[in-house]
Amino acid sequence: MKSAVARLLLAFALVLSVQAAASAQWKTFTQTAGNFSVQLPGTPKAQDQSVDTKVGKITAHMYLLEGNPTYVVAYNDYPAASMKGKNPNEALEASANGAVTNVKATLTSKKAITIKGYPGCEITFNNPKFLGKSRIYLVKNRLYQLTALIPKPGSYNKDVNRFLTSFRLLK
């Protein structure tokens, strides 16, 4: 009986230490030039990509942490003149639709959100291979997009929410 209790306690201690080690891997990634911070379970790889748009060529700055889930943080600046007089919700809508279309997915939900008074949206989407959840914010003429991709048959979990809700503007 004592050995069964001891094995149970040892197993419980092992589970707790693994959980503590997993949560200890999360750290704040700060990107000063992008004016943001976000929590990730590792260090993302930076990648810049030039993109042709209706308002001209822009640079998308992306930070990718591959795994299960895969986490992506990206931002780009639109020319200030291109945003003047525009409805920010139209820009968010176009960005959300583009994100879903780019991964050949189907939009499953969308809701309005904000960060420091700036508009945003949260979307969920899926395709045959994965589930996705994104938060997109428009801060003046800068668009931020955070995305978590979960291979199927996975599901959204506390780590996805931790990532998405940890996003902060520095100024």
pLDDT of residue 56: 85
Domain annotation covers residue 68: yes
Q: For residue 141, which phi and psi values (nearest 5 degrees)?
A: -105, 15
- Domain holding 139: CATH number? 3.40.1000.10
In sign, the C-alpha dihedral spanning 77, 81, 82, 88 is: positive
pLDDT of residue 161: 96
pLDDT of residue 7: 36
Domain annotation covers residue 5: no
Is residue 136 within 8 A of residue 99, CB to CB? The reply is: yes
pLDDT of residue 124: 97
For the chain, how big is the Rg over CA atoms in Å? Answer: 19
In tens digits, the chain (171 residues) has pLDDT values of: 444 333 333 333 333 333 433 444 999 999 999 999 999 999 999 999 998 888 889 999 999 999 999 999 999 999 988 888 888 988 899 999 999 999 999 999 999 999 999 999 999 999 999 999 999 999 999 999 999 999 999 888 899 999 999 999 999
Structural domain containing residue 69 = 27-169
pLDDT of residue 55: 83
Which residues lie below 8 Å from residue 149, measured CB to CB, with a gap of 6+?
A: 69, 70, 72, 103, 130, 131, 132
Domain annotation covers residue 82: yes
Domain annotation covers residue 4: no
Which residues lie below 8 Å from residue 26, measured CB to CB, with a gap of 6+?
A: 39, 40, 41, 162
- Cα→Cα distances 148→98, 123, 143, 169, Å: 16, 11, 17, 19
pLDDT of residue 121: 97
Domain annotation covers residue 46: yes
The count of domains in the chain is 1
Domain annotation covers residue 103: yes
Domain annotation covers residue 165: yes
Domain annotation covers residue 2: no
pLDDT of residue 134: 98
